[in-house]
Structure 1
Amino acid sequence: TDVEQGLAARYGVRSLPTVKLFRDGQVVDEFMGALPAGAVQEFLSVHVARESDTLREQALAAHAEGQGETAVALLREALAQDPENPRVPLDLAGVLGDLSRFAEAEEVLRGLPANRQLDPDVTTMQSRLALAR
């Protein structure tokens, strides 16, 4: 922060280490403080495009067009292809919830690893499903 004071001020860096992830020139995520290697990998995995994301995009487009069952099938295929993609289970739970298949949606979320159970996106989805019931 001493060497690049202008840059630090521009992006609100107050302490080191501060990690900011940029996409298309915009900060999309960040964390402050040292993290173990596994936590950094998990942080990055949420933002790195994967092959299964193509199926996700197709599924979300199908869902937006009212083709919920097609979306579910594509998301299940994406999950089978890449069970480590952190975005797929949330999308699948969301589509299942929109189809009023709440038990299946909750089962998908329960299948997540323990370290993901407290993730804000997961708890938000759990709340959304609980309210929709």
Structure 2
Amino acid sequence: MDLSSLVSGGAPGGANGGGAPGGLIKDTSTAEFMTDVIEASKTQPVLVDFWAPWCGPCKQLGPLLEKAVQEAKGAVKLVKMNIDEHPSIPQQMGVQSIPAVFAFVDGRPVDGFMGALPESQIKEFIARLAGPSAEEAELEDVLASAQAALDEGDVAGAAEIFAAVLQEDRTNLAAIGGLTRCLVASGELDRARQTLALTPPGKEGDAVIAGARAVLELATQTADVGDIQTLAAQLESDPNDHQARFDLALALNARGDREDAVNHLVEIIRRKRDWNDEAARKQLVQFFEAWGPVDPMTIEARRKLSSVLFS
């Protein structure tokens, strides 16, 4: 929607130019719309609140909207337009009921809502529009560096970073999951369980937490299986010893030989799919949770599993 031709020829309105400190909130007119909204949105997201003095829901929404914008600390600006005094812009935009809020970015409307929303939804709308704050972006970089360290085998370095994040925010899921993985890698299973217990109620199903829990459960299972050479010898003497093959798969995965671990579990499924209540298939699913859905080994193992299940 191009409003520049309409705005450039508009008549001056009655905007008072006032607003919150720092210019985050102000009234506008048809004549000032180009400057206050179109041009301003090229450097910062701008919300436009179309309202009228007689509108009850507008009086309910207005203070909540202003409060949310102020709390966003400069992430967005708010421009208010009285549609009774300045009807041409809302008509151009097809506004048929108020309150109506439009979000402008780079000179164009990109999102919006109508009606009086609760405060929580207003904050979510602004957060979605503004994107991550500088502080949030910095935190994401810190967590990414910790994950990179863990991927490269620097377990101690990764654990130190994850722990530092948790000191600032004990509910950070990425830090909880990351530190849990570090502690498992260090063999500190009890501390890993304590760390995983920091997960906030209702967040147990989050992918990061589910993956860390799967890693911990795998480590716990592996502690009870036998020596790889012993298990391999048992399997050589009896290829249908599914328990030995199953335990060998766990031991191989713990050693980092994920491909052979997958192959043994798939072989159990090929030989006797329903063995031990489909334990091999369920174990593969646990591997997938621990490795993550986009891990190349997860993708390859899913392909192998499908080829057996649907052959």
Tell me the TM-score range normalised by the shorter chain: 0.5 to 0.7
Task: Render the CA deviation track for 1:41-97: whole Å, top value 9, x for unaligned.
Answer: 6xx8xx955432222122222223322111111111111123343211111111221
**C-alpha contact (below 8 Å) 1:92/1:108 kept by paired residues:** yes
Question: Which of 164, 185, 189 lines up with 1:77 in the alignment?
Answer: 164
Q: How does 1:41-80 map to 2 (within 5 A)?
A: 49-80=136-167
1:123 aligns with 2:223: no
Give the AA of the match of 1:102: L
1:121 and 1:59 map into 2 onto residues whose CA distance is 14
TM-score (norm 1): 0.55
Match of 1:87 among 163, 174, 181: 174
For CA contacts below 8 A with separation 6 or more, give which structure has more relative contact order: 1
Identify unmatched segments of 5+ residues in structure 1: 1-36
Supply the distance in 2 between the matched residues of 1:102 and 1:54 (Cα, whole angstroms): 27
- Cα distance in 2 between the residues matched to 1:59 and 1:52: 11
How well do the aligned residues superpose, as a CA RMSD in angstroms? 2.8
How many residue pairs are counted as aligned between the two chains? 92
* Higher mean C-alpha deviation, range 56-65 or range 108-117: 56-65
Are 1:52 and 1:82, in contact at CA under 8 Å, matched by a contact in 2?
Answer: no
- Normalising by structure 2, report the TM-score: 0.26
Contact 1:94 1:125 in 2 (8 A): yes
